[in-house]
Amino acid sequence: MPLKLEDKRAIVVEVANIASQAYSAIVAEYRGMTVAEMTQLRTQARSKGVYLRVVRNTLARRAVSNTDFECLQDILVGPIVLAFSIDEPGASARVIKDFAQNNDKLIVKGVAVSGQLLEAYKIDAVASLPTYQEAISLLMSVMQAPITKLVRTLAEPHAKLVRTIAAVRDSKQEN
C-alpha cells in the first residue's frame, strides 16, 4: 500500500528528530530476514534504548540531511534498517553486532559517529565504547588514584616508624 504524502512527511520529521538527538547511527541491510527475526531485533533494540526503523531510502536521505548523519546518504541503498543510539554512543552498535552474530542475514553497511562515516568493520570499536555508568566509574577511579597515592605517601613515614619500633621491641624481647 503506497504511503500518502502526509505519512511520508511524518516519517521524515520523526526520523530527523531522532537523528538530531542521537549519538551514533548504524545502517544495516536486512534482506532475507523473517518477520520473527525482525521482531526479535526490534525487541532487543527497544530494551537497550535504541531507535530502530525501516525507512525507504529516499525518505531516509531526506531525514538525515542537515544532521550529523548526513554522511550516511551514500550507503542508503537497498533494504536497510536505521538504528540510532539515543542514550549512549555504543548502544546501537552493541545491539546490531550481537544480533548479527546469530543472524548472518543482517549485514552492517556503515557506522556514523559524530558526523563521521566509519567502515562497517568498525562496529566492534563503537560497540566496545563504555556505557554511561562505566565511563563515570572509570573517571572516578582515575580521579581517585592520585588522592589514594598521596594518602599512602603521607602515611608511609608513620608506618615506617611503627615498624621500626616494633622491630626494636621484638629484638629486645629475644634478648
Q: What is the mean pLDDT of residues 119-139?
A: 82
Cell numbers linked to 84: 540510532
* Structure confidence at residue 156 (pLDDT): 83
The whole-model pTM stands at 0.72
* Structure confidence at residue 1 (pLDDT): 61
- Would you say residue 59 has pLDDT above 70? yes
To the nearest whole number, what is the mean pLDDT of the chain? Answer: 87
Q: What is the CATH superfamily name and number for domain 5-129?
A: Ribosomal protein L10, N-terminal RNA-binding domain (3.30.70.1730)
Q: How many whole angstroms separate alpha carbon 97 and alpha carbon 4?
A: 34
Cα dihedral 36, 37, 39, 43 sign:
positive
Q: Where are the domains of the chain?
A: 5-129, 130-175
Asked whether 108 and 117 are in contact (CB, 8 A), the reply is no
